[in-house]
Every structure is written in C-alpha cells, then in structure tokens.
Amino acid sequence: MVFKVIGLMGLTDPSAFEEYRKQVGQTVALYQGRIEARGVITEIFWNELQCMPFSTYVELHFPSKEDAHAWAHSPQYQSLVPIRNQAMKLTLFGIAI
C-alpha cells in the first residue's frame, strides 16, 4: 500500500513560498517520502465542498500512514510552519491507495 499526502495551496507570498519550497523536500526525505508531483490548478470543475480558493497542489508519497504522520508532526517540518503560514493557505490530507 502507498500512502499519499495531497496539499491544496492558495499562495499568498511568492518569495516565502520559494523559501519554503527549497526546504520542504529535505524534511519529506527524512521520513522516507518523496515529492511525486507539483502543479498549477488550471480549472476547478466543481467545488461543492466550498473549499477556499487554491492555485497549486503537491502530491507526496510515503511508505505508510505512520511515516506521513511522523513527517507532518516532525520537528523538522514544524520548523517550516512559520514560513509556510506566510507563503500560503494550505489544506493537507492523506489518502491510502
């Protein structure tokens, strides 16, 4: 089984986002994860859940739910949260495949 973490992002500060982006991959790798895809949202077909606007996404892969959880709550990732909060509004969720 693969565990994915999906992030939906509404960017608020491009320079803070670049700083966050430079560092976040290293924290993911520490927990056996990898950044599988990043991209720009080109069209939203439905938004029946009325999510806040988002413009980009990221897809991370981890070997297990436990690894993803450990990463999200790790001191390494948590140290990036102030930069992340300046850079974007974020919805982050996990899915098992």
pLDDT in tens, 29-64: 999 999 999 999 999 999 999 999 899 999 999 999
25, pLDDT greater than 90: yes
Residues present in the chain in total: 97
DSSP state of 32: T
Least Cα distance to 59 among 3, 1, 17 occurs for 3
Chosen CATH of 3-96 out of 3.40.30.10, 3.40.190.10, 3.40.640.10, 3.30.70.100 = 3.30.70.100
pLDDT above 90 for 97: no
What whole-number percentage of the chain has pLDDT above 90?
Answer: 93
What is the average pLDDT across 5-12? 97
- Rounded to two decimals, the pTM is 0.92
CA distance 83 to 97: 30
